[in-house]
Structure formats: C-alpha cells, structure tokens
Amino acid sequence: MNYFTLKNGVKIPALGFGVWQITDAELCKKTVATAIKDGYRLIDTAAVYMNERAVGEGIKASGINRDELFITSKLWVQDTGYEKTKKAIEGTLERLQLDYLDMYLQHWPYGDNIGSWKAMEEYYHQGKIKAIGVCNYTIQHMKDLLEVASVKPVVNQVECHPIFQQKELRAYLKENDIYLEAWSPLGHGVQDLLSHPQFQQIADKYGKETAQVILRWHVQEEAIAIPKSATPSRIKSNFDIWDFELSEQEMNVIRSIDTNQRLSADPADKEWEKSMLERVFDHF
C-alpha cells in the first residue's frame, strides 16, 4: 500500500474501498472483511448508504487492529447545521462501533454546511475525527468554505475518472494542499472506458487489466481512489496495482482522453441541489 500525507500530517492510503449501494447487511459485512483481508486499509462509507452497522461488523470480522485502518464516513444533507451535525457524528460512531473516525466528510455542499463545519472542527479538536473534508465541492464551494474555516479541509471527494479528470479543480486543490479523492474512479465501469483500446494496449504490456491501469493512473496522479465492488475476484484485482508503474508517456496518453464530461450529477446544478435537500430517508 502507498500512502499520502494530508496537510494536517495524517497518512491516508492511496487506494481505498467504497461500499455505496451494498445495502444487504450480511453481504456488506462479508465484503468489507474480504477487502481488508485482501490488503485494503481505507474503508469509505456514509450515513446515507445505510450500511454503517454492517461496515462496523465487517471491520470486527476482519481481525485487523483498528489503528491499522482508515475509516471514513459522511454527513448527509438533511443533517447539516451545527447541532444536527454533532448528533449525526455520534450516530455514525455508534453504528460503526468506533471511538473515532479517521475522516469525516460533508457529502454535498448544500444546506447549512458552514454550521456543520463548525461542529466538525470541534470533533476534530477533540480527537474524535482525525481529518475533516468535503465531497462534491466545486471551486466556488471550496472558496466559500475556506473563507470561514479555521480548520482547512484536507480532502475533496468528487467524481473523477479518465473521461472526467477534473483538471481545473485538481489544480485548485493542489494549490491549497487539498487532496482529490476520486469516487467512481473507474467511471461506473462503462464499457467504452474499460475496453478503450489505448487502455487495453497499456494493460497488455504489463499483464494487467484495464481497471488496474486506471487505478494506477489515479495513484500516480496523486489522487486517492476508492473503487467499489461486491465481487471477491474484482475486489482482489482492483487492489493488485503495486507491482507496476506507468511511464510519463502512458500517463499522458490517459490524460489525453479526457472529455470533461460528467457521468453523474453536477453539484452546481440547482435542480439537483433542490432534489437532494428534499430527499427524506426513514433511517440511517
């Protein structure tokens, strides 16, 4: 495993494991335990995924010491605001059966995210959260937060993959010592990406799969990648990226296929923001 060092000195694995849409409790528990046994040390969940309890059980089932793991969860938009965020953090800790989180992120830049940030800063100072950050923040969202934050975010988790490389945002984050963390690092597994002839050519050269080449590209771009799978063989192969290195020419080939087109929602879309704020979940 490679690690990056966040601005506050905390070390974060360069490759993590996401659990979005793994809602079956037993499957989620088994999948998390499998991922950890295969070498993953960063597990990324969220309150709205409704699987924090199962993730906690998977952590216990793995048999790996807590201090070897990096556990991330996220604040949902209906829990924004100072007091509601404190309650949400305590709920996440209880469901995960943990005394602290390695990282806690705001899931979307909506609602009272400034009030939420103040609560997150308090938990950071108390040591109950080792690092705090955001998800799906545009450059303008980042600027607004940085104007008022006393503890600066260390991560912005966003959609990022070879056909949507977030080059402008990436440059802004680098200037501010904030790491980009890529969700959907394989572009939802769309076939025109995973079967792209240039990726296949590089993969054949190293005896690898195209997905492994893409994940290696993320890491060499100094982005944290969090692929997700519930298939044991895929979980294992996605982690197997540490025995080869892409040349600068190969990196440039991948950089050249960027279309700057999202496959998911635009955080700046006001209709999307409205739909997120109106969504109600019965329980987490």
- Catalytic residue numbers, as ranges: 49
Tokens, residue 63: 């048999």
Q: Contact, 137 vs 104, CB < 8 A? A: no
C-alpha to C-alpha distance for 83 and 92, rounded to whole angstroms: 15
Residue with token string 């109950």? 128
Query: How buried is 277 (Cβ within 10 angstroms: 0-12 exposed, 13-18 middle, 19+ buried)?
Result: middle
Residues β-bridged to residue 4:
12
d(CA 38, CA 58): 13
